[in-house]
Chain A
Amino acid sequence: MKIAVTVNGTREEWDVAPAETLLDALRDHGYRGAKRVCESGECGACAVIVDGLAIDACIRLAAQSDGSQITTVEGLETADGLHPVQEAFTANGAIQCGFCIPGMVVTAANYLEMNPQPTEDDIRHVFIGNLCRCTGYKKPVEAVLASVSEEVGRRED
Chain B
Amino acid sequence: MKTELSMVGRRAPKIDAVKLVTGRATFTDDVEMRGLLHAKVLKSPHAHARILSIDTSRASEIPGVHAVITHRDVPRNPYTSAGQSWPEPSPYDMYVLDRKVRFHGDAVAAVAAETPEIAEAALEAIGVEYEELPAVTDFRQSMGAGAPIIHDEPESYGIYDASRNIAAHIDVEAGDVEKGFRLADVIVENEFDVQYQQHTCLEPHVTIAFLDEDRRLVLRTSTQIPYHCRRMVAFALGIPVRNVHVLKPRVGGGFGNKQEVVTEPIAAVLAMKTGRPVKLEYTRADEFTIARNRHPQHITLKTGVRRDGSIVANALSVLTNTGPYGTHALTVTGNTGTKPLPLYRAANMKFYADIVYTNLPIAAAFRGYGAPQGFFAMEVHMDEVAEALGIEPLEFRRMNHIRVGDTDLMSAAAGEGAGKKPRVIHSCGLPECIERGAEAIGWYQKRGRPGDGPIKRGVGMCILMQGSGVAGDELAGAALKMNEDASFNLMVGSADIGTGSDTSLAQIAAEVLGVPLENILIKSGDTDDISFDYGAYASSTAYITGMCVLKASEDARQQIVAAAARMMDEDPEGLLVHDEKVTSLSGKSVTLQEVALECLYGESKTVIIGKGSHATKESPPPFVAMFAEVEVDTETGQVRPVEIVTAVDVGRAINPDICEGQVEGAVAQGLGYALTEEILVDADGRVLNPTFMDYKIFCAADMPTLTTILVEAEEPTGPFGAKSVAEIAINGPAPAISNAIYDAVGVRLHSLPMTPEKVLAALDCRGER
User: Real complex partners, A and B?
Assistant: yes
Q: Give A residues with C-beta under 8 Å from B.
A: 30-40, 42-43, 45, 72-74, 76-77, 82, 86, 89-93, 95-102, 105, 123-125, 127-128, 130-141, 154-157
Given contacts A35-B203, A39-B284, contact A90 B17 (CB under 8 A): yes
Q: Are A136 and B692 in contact (CB under 8 A)?
A: no
Residues of B within 8 A of A130 (CB): 699-700
Given contacts A136-B668, A138-B664, contact A124 B691 (CB under 8 A): no
Bound complex: CA of A102 vs CA of B23, how far in Å? 6
- CB-nearest residue of chain B to A135: B665
Binds A, one of B146-154, B239-247, B653-661: B653-661
Sample of 20 A–B contacts (CB below 8 Å): A35-B252, A36-B29, A40-B691, A72-B23, A73-B23, A93-B14, A95-B17, A96-B665, A98-B16, A98-B21, A98-B25, A98-B252, A123-B700, A125-B700, A131-B692, A133-B199, A133-B668, A133-B697, A134-B253, A136-B661
Closest 5 CB pairs of A and B: A33-B23, A97-B498, A93-B657, A99-B252, A98-B20
Residues of B within 8 A of A131 (CB): 200, 202, 692, 697, 699
From A90, A97, A100, B250 is in contact (CB under 8 Å) with A97
Q: Are B13 and A127 in contact (CB under 8 A)?
A: no
Residues of B within 8 A of A38 (CB): 284, 691-692
From B24, B284, B669, A33 is in contact (CB under 8 Å) with B24
From A31, A97, A101, A141, B21 is in contact (CB under 8 Å) with A101
Residues of B within 8 A of A132 (CB): 202, 700
CB proximity of B386 to chain A, nearest CB, Å:
29
Which has the most chain A C-beta neighbours within 10 Å: B21, B26, B250, B283?
Answer: B21
| Interface bracket on B | 35 or more
Residues of A within 8 A of B25 (CB): 98
Q: Are A127 and B202 in contact (CB under 8 A)?
A: no
CB proximity of A98 to chain B, nearest CB, Å:
3
Bound complex: CA of A139 vs CA of B668, how far in Å? 12
Q: Are B21 and A99 in contact (CB under 8 A)?
A: no
Q: Are A97 and B664 in contact (CB under 8 A)?
A: no
Q: Are B202 and A157 in contact (CB under 8 A)?
A: no
Which has the most chain A C-beta neighbours within 10 Å: B20, B23, B701, B703?
Answer: B23
Contact with A along B193-216 (1 / 0, CB 8 A): 000000111111000000000000
Bound complex: CA of A45 vs CA of B204, how far in Å? 12
Bound complex: CA of A38 vs CA of B669, how far in Å? 18
Given contacts A93-B14, A97-B498, A155-B11, contact A42 B691 (CB under 8 A): yes
Q: Are A37 and B13 in contact (CB under 8 A)?
A: no
- CB-nearest residue of chain A to B281: A36
CB proximity of A130 to chain B, nearest CB, Å:
7
Bound complex: CA of A135 vs CA of B26, how far in Å? 20
Within 8 A of A (CB), among B691-717: 691-693, 697-701, 703, 706
Residues of A within 8 A of B697 (CB): 131, 133
Bound complex: CA of A32 vs CA of B32, how far in Å? 10
- CB-nearest residue of chain A to B31: A32
Q: Are A136 and B703 in contact (CB under 8 A)?
A: yes
Bound complex: CA of A1 vs CA of B701, how far in Å? 41
Q: Are A139 and B661 in contact (CB under 8 A)?
A: yes
* B30 contacts A by Cβ under 8 Å: yes
- CB-nearest residue of chain A to B668: A136
Q: Are A35 and B202 in contact (CB under 8 A)?
A: yes
Q: Are A139 and B657 in contact (CB under 8 A)?
A: yes
Which has the most chain A C-beta neighbours within 10 Å: B26, B661, B692?
Answer: B661
Residues of A within 8 A of B22 (CB): 33, 73-74, 76-77, 82, 86
Residues of A within 8 A of B204 (CB): 37
Bound complex: CA of A134 vs CA of B665, how far in Å? 5
Bound complex: CA of A100 vs CA of B202, how far in Å? 7
Which has the most chain A C-beta neighbours within 10 Å: B29, B199, B700?
Answer: B700
Q: Are A157 and B656 in contact (CB under 8 A)?
A: yes
Residues of A within 8 A of B32 (CB): 30
Contact with A along B505-525 (1 / 0, CB 8 A): 000000000000000000000
Bound complex: CA of A148 vs CA of B665, how far in Å? 24
Extra 8 A-B pairs, beta carbons < 8 Å, given A133-B669, A137-B700? A30-B32, A39-B283, A42-B691, A73-B21, A86-B18, A89-B21, A95-B17, A133-B255
CB proximity of B427 to chain A, nearest CB, Å:
22
CB proximity of B661 to chain A, nearest CB, Å:
6
Q: Are A93 and B202 in contact (CB under 8 A)?
A: no
From A77, A82, A91, A133, B201 is in contact (CB under 8 Å) with A133
From B20, B284, B660, B699, A37 is in contact (CB under 8 Å) with B284
Residues of A within 8 A of B658 (CB): 93
CB proximity of A108 to chain B, nearest CB, Å:
11
Q: Are B200 and A133 in contact (CB under 8 A)?
A: yes
* B497 contacts A by Cβ under 8 Å: yes
Residues of A within 8 A of B693 (CB): 40, 42
From B20, B660, B691, B706, A93 is in contact (CB under 8 Å) with B660
Q: Are A95 and B14 in contact (CB under 8 A)?
A: yes
Bound complex: CA of A140 vs CA of B700, how far in Å? 9
Bound complex: CA of A137 vs CA of B699, how far in Å? 8
Residues of A within 8 A of B29 (CB): 32, 36
Residues of A within 8 A of B657 (CB): 92-93, 139
- CB-nearest residue of chain A to B657: A93
CB proximity of A126 to chain B, nearest CB, Å:
8
Which has the most chain A C-beta neighbours within 10 Å: B10, B253, B497, B698?
Answer: B253
Residues of B within 8 A of A128 (CB): 699-701
Residues of A within 8 A of B252 (CB): 35, 97-99
Bound complex: CA of A156 vs CA of B11, how far in Å? 6
Bound complex: CA of A138 vs CA of B203, how far in Å? 21
Residues of A within 8 A of B250 (CB): 97-98
CB proximity of B500 to chain A, nearest CB, Å:
7
Q: Are A125 and B701 in contact (CB under 8 A)?
A: yes
* B160 contacts A by Cβ under 8 Å: no
* B462 contacts A by Cβ under 8 Å: no
Bound complex: CA of A34 vs CA of B16, how far in Å? 17
Residues of B within 8 A of A98 (CB): 16, 20-21, 25, 250, 252, 498
Q: Are B13 and A91 in contact (CB under 8 A)?
A: yes
CB proximity of A48 to chain B, nearest CB, Å:
10
* B667 contacts A by Cβ under 8 Å: yes
Bound complex: CA of A117 vs CA of B30, how far in Å? 35
CB proximity of A105 to chain B, nearest CB, Å:
6
- CB-nearest residue of chain A to B284: A38
Contact with A along B164-204 (1 / 0, CB 8 A): 00000000000000000000000000000000000111111
Which has the most chain B C-beta neighbours within 10 Å: A76, A89, A136?
Answer: A136
Bound complex: CA of A33 vs CA of B19, how far in Å? 10
From B14, B17, B284, B701, A127 is in contact (CB under 8 Å) with B701
From B11, B253, B656, B700, A133 is in contact (CB under 8 Å) with B253
Q: Are A139 and B700 in contact (CB under 8 A)?
A: no
From A82, A123, A133, B202 is in contact (CB under 8 Å) with A133
* B553 contacts A by Cβ under 8 Å: no
- CB-nearest residue of chain A to B671: A136
